[in-house]
């Protein structure tokens, strides 16, 4: 019989969790319960892990949290404790899925704990926050956020349906054991963007006979996920075609993957081929969201679609980006190499296209070379990033440093 962990704030959402508990029972699963609330629980079912045990896992006592009356501190403690216990239950093979419900506080604790669980493990959270910016809650994991539609305040015609189906969802996930496929081919991670898609698709075709290529969309979350999975040992090499997220990190764009982007391969000690793909652009939302300082400076913009505005990087930014990429590569003790597409870093940087400025690209290339350790090879390819010959050269270099 599969076991589902039901976790949440049993002090403030007692009625809702009572209903969820009954719905889980209907599906004939074993249930473990974990209370992440601060005050006395208002539920009738047995609590497997009490709130004091959750606080204790983070080195605190629930009575101290109640006395302190510091919501922020209490939240941090319960997040830390819940994460530790979830990780332990998983390692001991005591749970097959986890479900929670909550508003802002409950979702923060539940999501933090779920992020400690591996990809593929069933994780469902019914939340009032599912329709907003969910990046902080999902992180780099496959957490299913189920919109509550109405606030989680009692059982009504809407919440009854939502909670019941969420219970069915996590139980269904837990029942479906994935077929284990023995992966014998070396795994290669690639980074892709709309403006580098032809390049990556060609690389995948060239790799798939002897390797297992996995592609990540370089939209901030994609880069963070790729970096985390590299650190966790899921791949044998990285063909980093699209490092555009660093332009967003530097210039305040919306698709930054954070300052640790490009650190994963060095930390994992795997071969890393780096291309400054799509570093000719910074991503913003609709045109109205572009920072005023860039509009006043008369920068070059391109509307990729009504919700995405691209800004061409300039020489000063490329100088800094080159330094950053070189520093990241220098930190690696594993085989590393750079490839430069001399006829454009993206579709828009191709000959005659709106962002075409190969002199500015050259500033980037020279900054990388100037700051790079001499033993790291650089290959200049007289082609656009999306030309077949560039993809072919990328794969050739990757294979050579993997040998």
Q: What pLDDT is recorded for position 76?
A: 96
Classify 345 as helix, strand or coil: coil
Per-residue DSSP letters for 158-175?
HHHHHHHHHHHHHHHHHH
CA–CA gap between residue 172 and residue 2 (Å, rounded): 10
Residue 245 tokens read as 């997220």
Mean of all residue pLDDT scores within the chain? 95
Residue 72 tokens read as 């922020």
Q: What pLDDT is recorded for position 140?
A: 85
pLDDT tens for each residue of 365-401: 999 999 999 999 999 999 999 999 999 999 999 999 9
Q: What pLDDT is recorded for position 181?
A: 64
Q: What percentage of the chain has pLDDT greater than the value 70? A: 99
Question: Is residue 125 pLDDT above 80, yes or no?
Answer: yes
Question: Is residue 301 pLDDT above 80, yes or no?
Answer: yes
Residue 136 tokens read as 């902080």
CA–CA gap between residue 373 and residue 365 (Å, rounded): 14
Q: Read off the pLDDT band of 182 (50, 70, 90).
A: low
The 272-274 sheet, strands edge to edge: 212-217, 187-192, 237-240, 272-274, 336-341, 378-381
Q: What pLDDT is recorded for position 134?
A: 84
Among 89-93, 284-288, 363-367, 391-395, the minimum mean pLDDT is found in 284-288
CA–CA gap between residue 254 and residue 209 (Å, rounded): 36
Q: Read off the pLDDT band of 135 (50, 70, 90).
A: confident
Could you tell me whether strands 237-240 and 212-217 are parallel, antiparallel, or unpaired per DSSP bridges?
A: unpaired
User: Residues 226-240: what's their mean pLDDT?
Assistant: 96
* Ordered alpha helix ranges (H), 38-182: 51-56, 62-68, 71-91, 104-114, 135-138, 157-175
Q: What pLDDT is recorded for position 149?
A: 87
Question: Is residue 289 pLDDT above 70, yes or no?
Answer: yes
User: Residues 72-92: what's their mean pLDDT?
Assistant: 97
CA–CA gap between residue 166 and residue 169 (Å, rounded): 5
pLDDT tens for each residue of 184-199: 899 999 999 999 999 9
Question: Is residue 183 pLDDT above 80, yes or no?
Answer: no
pLDDT tens for each residue of 16-61: 999 999 999 999 999 999 999 999 999 999 999 999 999 999 999 9
Catalogue all structural domains in the chain, each as residue range(s) with its CATH number: 3-175 (3.40.50.12020), 187-402 (3.40.50.12030)
Q: How many residues does the chain have?
A: 403
Question: Is residue 246 pLDDT above 70, yes or no?
Answer: yes
Q: What pLDDT is recorded for position 133?
A: 77
Question: Is residue 279 pLDDT above 80, yes or no?
Answer: yes
DSSP 334: S
* 266, 333 contact by CB (below 8 A): yes
Residue 328 tokens read as 């990241």
Stated pTM of the model: 0.82
Q: What pLDDT is recorded for position 326?
A: 98
């Amino acid at each position: 019989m599969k076991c589902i962990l039901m976790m949440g704030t049993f002090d403030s959402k007692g009625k809702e969790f009572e209903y969820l508990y009954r719905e889980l029972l209907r599906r004939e699963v074993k249930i473990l319960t974990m209370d992440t609330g601060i005050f006395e629980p208002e539920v009738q079912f047995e609590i497997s892990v009490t709130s004091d045990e959750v606080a204790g896992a983070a080195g605190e006592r629930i009575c101290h949290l109640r006395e302190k009356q510091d919501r922020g501190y209490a939240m941090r403690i319960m997040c830390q404790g819940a994460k530790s216990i979830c990780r332990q239950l998983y390692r001991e093979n005591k749970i097959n899925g986890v479900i929670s419900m909550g508003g802002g506080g409950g979702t923060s604790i539940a999501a933090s704990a779920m992020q400690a669980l591996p990809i593929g493990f069933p994780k469902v959270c019914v939340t009032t926050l599912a329709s907003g910016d969910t990046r902080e809650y999902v992180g780099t994991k496959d957490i299913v956020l189920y919109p509550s539609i109405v606030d989680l305040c009692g059982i009504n015609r809407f919440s009854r349906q939502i909670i019941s189906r969420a219970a069915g969802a996590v139980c269904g996930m837990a029942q479906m054991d994935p077929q284990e496929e023995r992966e014998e081919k070396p795994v290669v991670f690639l980074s892709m963007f709309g403006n580098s898609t032809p390049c990556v698709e060609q690389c995948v075709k060239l790799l798939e006979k002897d390797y297992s290529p996995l592609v990540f969309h370089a939209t901030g979350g994609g880069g963070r996920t790729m970096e985390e999975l590299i650190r966790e040992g899921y791949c044998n090499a990285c063909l980093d075609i699209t490092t555009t997220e660093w332009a967003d990190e530097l210039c305040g764009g919306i698709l930054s993957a954070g300052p640790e982007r490009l650190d994963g391969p060095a930390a994992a000690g795997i071969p890393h081929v780096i291309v400054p793909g799509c570093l000719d652009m910074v991503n913003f939302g609709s045109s109205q969201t572009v920072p005023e300082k860039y509009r006043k400076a008369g920068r070059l913009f391109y509307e990729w679609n009504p919700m995405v505005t691209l800004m061409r990087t300039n020489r000063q930014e490329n100088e800094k980006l080159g330094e950053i990429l070189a520093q990241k590569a220098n930190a690696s003790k594993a085989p590393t190499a750079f490839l430069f597409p001399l006829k454009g870093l993206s579709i828009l940087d191709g000959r005659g296209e709106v962002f075409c400025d190969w002199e500015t690209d050259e500033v980037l290339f020279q900054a990388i070379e100037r700051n790079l350790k001499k033993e790291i090879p650089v290959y200049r390819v007289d082609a656009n990033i999306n030309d077949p010959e560039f993809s072919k050269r990328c794969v050739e270099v990757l294979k050579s440093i993997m040998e």
